[in-house]
Amino acid sequence: MAKPSKLGPITKVVDPQELYRVITQASSQNPAEVHASSKRVEELLDYFGTFDGLHEIAATRSVPLPVRKQSIIQFKNKALNHWRSRKLLSDEQRVRIRSRCMTFFDEEDDTIAECNEVIVAKIARQDYPMNWPSLLADIMDVIRTNLEVCGSPNSDPRSTLALCRGLALLNSVLKEFSGVKLLAGVNTMINIVDQLHEVMSAYYSKLSSMISALVPLALSDQRTADNLIVAHFIYKCLVKMALWLWPRLAQPEGRFAKLEPWFLQLFQSSTEQLKILSELRINLVLALRASGASDRLTLLSVDRLTRHVRVFGKFFRRLQQLKPDKFVQLPTGNQIVLYYWDRVVQATNGPPELIQDAPTAVFPVRFLLQAMVLFKENLSRWTPFRKGGPKTETTLSQEFVEDAVRLLVTRFIPLNLADLEGWMSDPEEWVNLEDKENDQWEYELRPCGERVLMTLSSQYKDYVTPLLETTFKQIIAQPTVDSASVIQKEALYCAIGRCATHLREVIPFSQWLQHNLLAEARETNQYYPIIKRRIAWLIGKWISDMCSPANDPNVWDILNHLLRDRGPGTDSVVRLTAATALRECVDTVNFDIDVFVPYLPTAVTELVKLMGEADTIEAKQRLAKSLNVVIECAGPRITPHAQMISEGIPQLWTAAGEEWLFKAQLLVVVTSLVSAMKEQSSLNGLIVPLVQDGLSPGVAINLDEDALNLWLAAVRNSSSLGYAGGPGLLDLVPLAVSLLSNNLDLLGKIVSIVESCLFVDAPAVLQGFAQPLMNAFVKALTGQAIMTNQKDILVCLQFLAQLAPATLWGQAMHFAGLFSHIINLLNHDESSPVLLTECIYLLARIALADRQMFLQLVSATAETMNVPEAKIWEAVLDHWWRQFDHMSEPRHRKLAALGIASLVSTGRPEVLDRLPNEIFNLWTDVFFEVKESRSLAESEDASPLTLHWDLDQVPQSYYADSENTVEFDRRQTFLDNDPVRITQLTNYVAAALQEAERTCGGIHIFNLYISKTDPTLLKQLQNELQGE
C-alpha cells in the first residue's frame, strides 16, 4: 500500500491485513466479535490508507458479501467527509477510488450498489469536472451500450442490471448537483443538463412507445418488466433536470432560456403520457382481475407500471409546489389536473373494492391522493372570484363544484370500516392519530378529502355554502338510527366544522345546539359515539374559529356531559375529544368565565379523572394541556378546586417515569395553578418535592426549564417562605445556592428566583444562608458567567442591601470576597462599563443602608488585599466619578449623589479631598436635573415628595416580568419607599456636610477642604442647598 507523502511523524499507515481482519470481525454474526472490533475500527479510520483499503475490499468480488457490505458502509459513512484530507488519502488513492467506483455497474447486491451511488454523487460534487472529467461520459457509455443490448431480441439479464445501475447512478449524481447553490455548482449542472436532456428524452421516447402498446399477456414477459424499470429510471433523470430548471426559467438574466422549449415539450409530453399510461394501467388491472392472473412476473410488471405512473404525479406536484402561479399557466397543466380529478370521480363511481392501498388496485390510494392534492392546490388559481394575480381560463362550473362537494361528503369524508376498527381496537391511539391529521393530510384519503372541501368552500363559497346549508337542513330533520345514517350525519357535521367560517351566517348555531345537539349528546344508541365524538369536535372547531362566542351555556352543558358520561352510547374517544374541545372553547378571546363557572367543578374533576384513566402518555398529555388552559382562564376561581387537582399530581408524576414531556406538562399545570391562586396557594407540600425532583441529576436535563418556572411562580405568588405544617419554599434555598454556584446554563433564572425570595423575606433567607449565598454569588461572578448574568447578580445584590439590615449580610459579603471582587473589577482596565456602573450602584446602596458597614468593608478588604485603605478609596472614588456619565436614568444619578453624600458624612479624608471638584460637580449636576419639592404641610417630613424628575415610570425591566403576581405589588411598594424617591436630595446633602464638619474635626478643618473649591461652583452649590 502506498506510503503517505509529506506526512508528519504522528500519522500511522494502515496494515491491509489487519484492516481486513478487523472488518471481517465487525461484519460477524457474533455480537462479541462485533463489540471487540468496533473500537479498533474507529482507530483505523484515522490511519493513512484505510479509506482506500476499505474501498478495495468492497470492490473485490471474492470477498464474502457481509465483509464487502461492512467495508463500503464504513467508507460511505466516514471517507466522504474527509475526501480532501491529505492526512488520510493521497492523490493516487483518490484516482484509484474513482476508477473503482465505475466497476460496480454489474453489482448484484443492492446495498453495495446503493452505497456506491451515494459515494459517486458525493465525490462528483467535489471532483467533477476538474478531477473527474470522464465521469459523465463513463456513465453514459454504460447506459448507451446496455440499452442497445436490452433492446435486442437476445437481451442479457446482466445488461439490464448494468443499465439499471447506471441509470440509478446518473440519477444520484443529478440529485446531488441539483441541490448545489454555489455558482460553480450551478454552472456544472447547466453543462450536465446541456449534455443529457436531448439524449435522455430520446431514450425515454423510444421506451414509452413500447410501454404504451402493452397488452395483458405481455405483463408476464421478463422484457416488459425490464422495459418498465428502465423507462422509470430514465424518466426520473429527466424529472431531476426539469425540476432543477423550472424555478430558473423565470430568472431575468435568461441564462436558461435556451432550455425552455425542451422543458415545455417534456411537460406536455408527460401530461399526454400520464393519460395514456393511467388508462392503460386501469384497463390492464381490470383485465387481470377478470382473468385471475397473478404470476410473479405479472405482479412485478404491474407494480413497476404503478410506480411509473405515480412518478408523473410526483413530478407535477413538485412543479406545483415550486411555482404554483406559474404551474396553472403551463400548457396542458390545468387539463392534466382535471384529468386526475376525473379519475377520482371514476374511482368513487365504481365498487369500493376498486380503491385499495396496493399497487395492484385499480385505483391505488396513493394515486388518488396525488390527484386530490393536485386538484386542491390548483383550486385557488381557478376561482372566478380571485382578486389580483394572473387570470386563468379554467374556472369550475356550479354543477362541477356541487358534484365535487357531494362526492367528498358522501365518499371520502365518512368514516370507513378501517377507521371504525381502529377506533374499537385502540381508542386512545386512534384519537392520537386523528389529532395528527393536520400534519399528515396529504397521505390519507379522509383528511385529504376534508382539505379539498375546505378549499372548495373558500374559493367557491357562492356555490358551496348554499349547498351545505340545504344539505344541513335536510339531514338534521331526518331520523338517525342505523349505522349508515349515523356515519353520513357524522360526515356532514365534519363538513360543517371544516367550513365553519363560511357557514356561520347561514347555520343558526345556538338553535342547533338547543334543538338538536343537546338531545344527540344524550342519546344512548349504540352507534352514537360516532356522532357524539363529532359533536364535541364540531363545537370546539366552531368556537375556536370565532364563528360564535363561548357564552352559550348549552356549549358547556354538552361538553361537560360528554366528558363525564360513562353510560351506554359513549366511550373514551368521545370523552377525550370532548376534553380537547373544552380547551379550544375556553382558550378564546370571547371566553366568559362567569358563564363557565357553574360548569367548572365538573370540567376540572373529569379532566383529572380522565388523566388517571388514560393508558397512553399522549392522551394524558393532551388532557393535561386542557386542564392547564382551564386553570389559566379560570384564574382565582380555580381556588376551591385546587386541592382536588393537586392531590392527583403525585401519583401521575410517579407513574410517568421517564416520560419527560408529560412530566413537563404536569409542572406547567402546577405552575398555572399557583399563578391563578396567587397568595391563596397552599401547595408548598407539592411544589417543593416537584422542584427538587425536576432539578435532580439526570432529570434536570429534561425538566429544568419547567421546574424553574414553577419555582419562580411559587415564590412570586407567595406571602411567606416559611413553614405551615409542611415543606416551605425556604427549603429550596440550598438548591438555589448550589445551582447558582455550579450551573451557568440556568444562572439567569436562578438569580431571578433568589431575587424573588429576597423580596418575600430577605432576613429569613440571610439568617439561614447568608454565607453560602454570598459564596455562590462570588463564584458565579468570578466564573464564566456572561455579562448579562453578572449584571443581574449585581442588581440582585443591590436589592439585598436594601431588603435586609447590614448585620445580616455585611460579614458574609466580606468573608466571601465579594467586596474584594468589586474592588478588583474597579481596578481592572478591561472591565465592562455596564458592570462598573452596576458596581457603583451597589456601593451606593451599601453606603445608604449602613455607612459604618461600608467603612468596615473597606478596612477589612484593604487588610485582605494587603494594601493601604487609601488605595481602596482611590478605586472607589475614581470610578464613582467616571461612571457617573454612564448613568442615564435620573434615579440612578440621584442614587450616586445620595451614596457619595453618605460617604462624605463619615468625614473620611479620602472622601473630603474630592469635595472641591468631583463631588461638588456631581451634586450640582444632579441638583440641576433632579428637581424636587415638598408640598406645604403641618409636618414637612410627612408630606409627600414631588419628584419633578420622575414623571415617567421606572423601566419595565425593574419589575422583571413579575406582572400579574404578588411580587409585582411588592416591587411597587418597595419602589415607593426607596430612599431615592422619598429623600429630598438637598436636605440630605446639607445634613451630610454638617455631619462631615463634625466628624472631621470642626469647621476650621472642614474649611481647609472646601476652600479649594471654585467660588462660582461653591456659590451655585450654596444656592441649591438654600433653595434659592
Measured CA to CA, the distance from residue 892 to residue 903 in angstroms comes to 17
Boundary of a domain, candidates 565, 591, 617: 591
Each residue of 533-585: pLDDT tens digit?
999 999 999 999 888 888 899 999 999 999 999 999 999 999 999 999 999 99
Report the number of distinct structural domains present in the chain: 3
Boundary of a domain, candidates 540, 575, 591: 591
Mean pLDDT over residues 373-383, rounded? 88
Q: What percent of the chain has pLDDT over 90?
A: 74
- Look at residue 997 and tell me whether its pLDDT is greater than 60: yes
Alpha-carbon dihedral 827, 832, 837, 839, rounded to 10 degrees: -50
Within-domain flag for 583 = yes
Q: Same domain for 390 and 519?
A: no
Within-domain flag for 944 = yes
User: Which residue in this structure is represented by grid cell 461572578?
Assistant: 781
Measured CA to CA, the distance from residue 401 to residue 147 in angstroms comes to 47
Phi then psi for 355, rounded to 5 degrees? -100, 115
Q: Same domain for 239 and 368?
A: yes
Who wins on pLDDT, 837 or 1028? Answer: 837
pLDDT of residue 948: 59
The sign one gets for the Cα dihedral 20, 24, 25, 27 is positive
Boundary of a domain, candidates 576, 591, 606: 591
- The strand pairing partners of 783, in sequence order, are none
Alpha-carbon dihedral 192, 197, 200, 201, rounded to 10 degrees: 170
Q: Is 817 left (phi over 0), alpha (psi -120 to 50) or beta?
A: left
Q: How does the average pLDDT of the chain come out, rounded?
A: 91
Nearest to 74 by CA among 33, 25, 36: 25
Measured CA to CA, the distance from residue 143 to residue 223 in angstroms comes to 17
Each residue of 3-19: pLDDT tens digit?
454 444 467 899 999 99
Three-state SS at 1020: helix
Within-domain flag for 960 = yes
pLDDT of residue 939: 45
Mean pLDDT over residues 255-274, rounded? 94
Q: Same domain for 359 and 415?
A: no
Contact 822, 845 (CB under 8 A): no
Q: Same domain for 424 and 308?
A: no
DSSP code of residue 595: H
Q: Same domain for 532 and 568?
A: yes
Three-state SS at 364: strand
Each residue of 654-684: pLDDT tens digit?
999 999 999 999 999 999 999 999 888 788 8
Lowest mean pLDDT among 537-546, 983-992, 1013-1022: 1013-1022
Q: Same domain for 435 and 333?
A: no
- Look at residue 58 and tell me whether its pLDDT is greater than 70: yes
Within-domain flag for 34 = no
Q: How many residues does the chain have?
A: 1028
pLDDT of residue 437: 65
Measured CA to CA, the distance from residue 122 to residue 79 in angstroms comes to 10
Q: Same domain for 388 and 419?
A: no
- Three-state SS for 186-246 is HHHHHHHHHHHHHHHHHHHHHHHHHHHCCCHHHHHCHHHHHHHHHHHHHHHHHHHHHHHHH
Within-domain flag for 141 = no
Q: Same domain for 344 and 258?
A: yes
pLDDT of residue 955: 85
Q: Same domain for 488 and 426?
A: yes
Mean pLDDT over residues 502-523, rounded? 93
Contact 911, 903 (CB under 8 A): yes
pLDDT of residue 12: 86
DSSP code of residue 350: S
CA distances from residue 208 to 201, 229, 234, 296, 300 in whole angstroms, order as listed: 10, 11, 10, 23, 18
Q: Same domain for 558 and 516?
A: yes
The domain in which residue 938 lies consists of 909-1025
Phi then psi for 879, rounded to 5 degrees? -80, -25
Contact 386, 380 (CB under 8 A): yes
- The strand pairing partners of 364, in sequence order, are 356
CB neighbour class for 817 (10 Å; exposed up to 12, middle 13-18, buried from 19):
buried
Nine cell digits for residue 67 = 465483509
Nearest to 395 by CA among 380, 407, 405, 408: 380
Mean pLDDT over residues 137-162, rounded? 87
Measured CA to CA, the distance from residue 408 to residue 225 in angstroms comes to 36
Q: Same domain for 499 and 554?
A: yes
Nearest to 191 by CA among 130, 102, 251: 130
Each residue of 305-320: pLDDT tens digit?
999 999 999 999 999 9
Within-domain flag for 657 = no
CA distances from residue 613 to 20, 433, 657, 668 in whole angstroms, order as listed: 57, 19, 16, 20
What secondary structure does DSSP assign to 638-698, as a single string? GGGGHHHHHHHHHHHHHHHTT-HHHHHHHHHHHHHHHHHHGGG---HHHHHHHHHHHTSTT
Within-domain flag for 554 = yes
User: Strands 355-356 and 363-364: what pairing?
Assistant: parallel
What secondary structure does DSSP assign to 949-987, as a single string? T--SPPPGGGGTT-TTSHHHHHHHHHHHT-HHHHS-HHH
Within-domain flag for 251 = yes
pLDDT of residue 334: 92
947 pLDDT band (50/70/90 cuts)? low
Measured CA to CA, the distance from residue 61 to residue 345 in angstroms comes to 53
252 pLDDT band (50/70/90 cuts)? confident
H or E segment to which residue 553 belongs: helix 553-564
Mean pLDDT over residues 897-902, rounded? 95
1013 pLDDT band (50/70/90 cuts)? confident
Nearest to 673 by CA among 734, 620, 607: 607
Contact 249, 260 (CB under 8 A): yes
Q: Which of 76-90, 229-243, 318-332, 818-832 has the highest mean pLDDT?
A: 229-243
- The angle, 0 to 180 degrees and rounded to 10, between the axes of the packed helices 890-904 and 833-849 is 50
Nearest to 147 by CA among 195, 202, 222, 211: 202
Measured CA to CA, the distance from residue 162 to residue 143 in angstroms comes to 8
Q: What percent of the chain has pLDDT over 70?
A: 94
1017 pLDDT band (50/70/90 cuts)? confident
* Burial annotation 301-340 (CB, 10 A radius, 16+ → b, else e): bbbbbbebbbbbbebbbebbeeeeebbbebebbbebbbbb
Each residue of 383-442: pLDDT tens digit?
665 555 555 556 889 999 999 999 999 999 999 888 999 999 999 999 988 887 666 788
Q: What is the CA radius of gyration of the chain?
A: 40
Measured CA to CA, the distance from residue 577 to residue 575 in angstroms comes to 5
- Three-state SS for 274-302 is HHHHHHHHHHHHHHHHHHCCCCHHHHHHH
- Look at residue 936 and tell me whether its pLDDT is greater than 50: no
Q: Same domain for 921 and 951?
A: yes
Please tell me whether the peptide bond between 650 and the residue prior to it is cis, using omega within 30 degrees of 0.
no
User: What's the half-sphere exposure (Cβ side, CA atoms, 13 Å) at 85?
Assistant: 18
Q: Residue 777: CB partners within 8 Å, gap ≥ 6? A: 740, 793, 796, 797, 816, 818
Measured CA to CA, the distance from residue 490 to residue 499 in angstroms comes to 14
Mean pLDDT over residues 48-61, rounded? 95
